Chain A
Amino acid sequence: MAYPLVVTERMMEHPADSHTMERYEATGGYQAARQALGQTRDELVEVVKASGLLGRGGAAFSAGLKWSFLAPARPAYLVVNGDESEPGTFKDRQLLERDPHQLIEGMIIAAKANEVYESFIYIRGEYPKPARRVQQAVVEAYAKGYLGKGIFGTDYNLELTVHLGAGAYICGEETALLNSLEGRRGEPRLKPPYFPAAKGLYMKPTIVNNVETIANLPHIINKGAEWFSGLSDSEDTGTFMMSISGHVNKPGNYELPHGLTWRQVIYDVAGGIRNGNELKAWVPGGASAPWFVPDLHLDRPITKAACAEDGSMLGSGAIIVMDHTTDMVGAAERLVAFFAEESCGQCTPCREGTTWLDMILQRVLDGAGRDADIDLLLDLSDNISVGLAWPPKQTTICPLGPSAVSPVMSLVRHFRDEVEAHIAKGIHSGGQGTPVSIRGSA
């Protein structure tokens, strides 16, 4: 079954050269930028608001509304967040690598809509190839007069710099990203008062948008808000990129309309579970999202509202699928370990809490778990995110700490028996334990 493609259409139709200026212009590229340069801030903000485009970085906030909050002070900056690092997510890598001009054109539109003359793309350090492709495209755009002074023969100026990160998940958090771009440690800032729209890069008004969000803009300008909302039968408009990984037959990125069911995505789109195995659980929106299980969620629609109603989120659009052979304690440990490693260390509940959650899960896996460990995990989780609610409450500057709570809660809610079985086999229950070595010999 074929779904309408928006941000991946060009790369699918022209795989050999979708990244070049020549192909981009031959397929209608940079027409939207030309049009936008003749439009006012109000007109552009309105059309993006009307399109219903939600931020694709994970928070799913209205892109047009976010723009409308930008404080009037100048200079202001546009920063594109290409620090894609949420485990399971690899959609922006494809958009950066295979259609960099689409991103640049989207940035020109976003810059004009917000009356910004200086912009940055922050790409994670582990993505040198996508960064090279984008840099090459930026060079081409400067050479054509599409970036720099007086772009497209107008009196509008726009500078664009590609900035490479250096291996820190937390820099995907927008205020941490801004600190990083200022040449500082990537530590999130306290909100309020440091909302980027008012006090962002160099304490100046700043728009931070995800790569996929920006990539949609040329299409919305070309074809209109109504066309964009018509792409989906659900209340969430447009398409979205889904990164599917884990135990499916056809892992990969898929651009899909909102509103399909999980069954359609896992079995039809991704080809079902490997070796004809049974589906056990999946993470619906990147590592921070509470897990879904087939009995409760397989026939639920994939929309922002339905995911929220079921106590999870669509997040970054990453689904990580686990079959019946998966040790769920192992999976939870691996997710928690990620957050423990990536905690920036500013806030005690996150720095200490994620580390302890991981150590307890490790000892359960190692056959040294205790009967009290499940309660201890829950108590610790409650100290990181009070009340264990969804969406999670924060005792911390940013949501990283509470994100580590979500796999723990999912584990205890859906697979408590597996945790108990590990503990029952362990040395504290009179068993031999089943020592597991974690991540190499280090």
Chain B
Amino acid sequence: MSWSAETIKRARDIVARYPEPRSAVMPLLYLAMREDGYLTDDGIKRVADLVGITAAQVQSVATFYVMYKTEPKGKYLISMCTSISCYLMGADDVLHALEEASGVPAGEADSEIAVEHAECIGACGGAPACLVNYELIEGLTTEKAKDLVKWLRDGKPETINGDELQTLFGGVTSFDWAIKEENAAIGPYPAFPVFGTAAVNSEALEPGRGA
């Protein structure tokens, strides 16, 4: 698949922000995931060309970090934390509920939903917690986990907003979230405007170095 002129311009702007082009590899890998839904060989090759290193070098970076997915993860990636604080608060049961309700074993994906166990996601005060396309739900229960899967399957939301998820499926939080947020994720990668991956506010790449 070819990247749009807009995506290529965004990629070049990202490269220009760093003192050395190779530093742009990580943000560009996210950009490549937005283009294809996951990291394809073509995406990796494009990133390599943009920063001037080999595809093998980019591949070695991509495979080091768990958030770069080299296989399709459907539209919704559910990452259930199973580290110590979530474990103490019943995360294993919640993960089983997610697997059962979705029919997707942890570590696998169907065309719509992927389920995985995650190491500590920094939501320990709101344990057990999970991420849906990296948007947080704290204070989850097995029942709410099943509701979440049904809501995703039935409603097939175009975007995933953290505040909406927390209201519908969450409970106790690590701290007061306080302010509602419009931003939403559009795929199984973090919604960050600089990469063009958030559903609103997507033009927030500001001038900086060299501009």
Contact = CB atoms under 8 A, between A and B. Distances in A.
A128 B185 contact: yes
Interface string B36-72: 0000000000000001010000001100111110000
A425 B31 CA distance: 52
A420 interface: no
A128 B67 contact: no
B124 A251 contact: yes
A161 interface: yes
Band of interface residues on B? 35 or more
Given A148-B207, A440-B117, A128 B82 contact: no
Nearest to A92: B122
Nearest to B126: A251
A125 B181 contact: no
A136 B194 CA distance: 10
Contacts of B82: 334, 439-440
A244 B89 CA distance: 13
Band of interface residues on A? 35 or more
Contacts, number: 240
A90 B83 contact: no
A132 B192 contact: yes
A87 B120 contact: yes
Contacts of A341: 119
Contacts of B149: none
Contacts of A165: 26, 65, 67
Given A128-B191, A165-B26, A251-B124, 15 more contacts: A16-B178, A87-B85, A90-B175, A93-B123, A98-B175, A98-B178, A125-B190, A132-B191, A132-B201, A147-B208, A164-B192, A164-B194, A166-B30, A252-B125, A439-B117
Interface of B: 17-20, 22-27, 29-30, 51, 53, 60-61, 64-68, 79-80, 82-85, 87-89, 92, 95-96, 99, 105-108, 115, 117-127, 131, 134-136, 162, 172, 174-176, 178-179, 181, 183, 185, 190-195, 198, 201, 204, 206-209
Interface of A: 11, 15-19, 75, 84-90, 92-94, 98, 118, 124-129, 131-132, 135-136, 138-139, 142-143, 147-148, 159-169, 180-186, 202, 243-247, 251-253, 283, 287, 318, 320, 322, 326, 330-331, 334-335, 338, 341-342, 344, 437-442
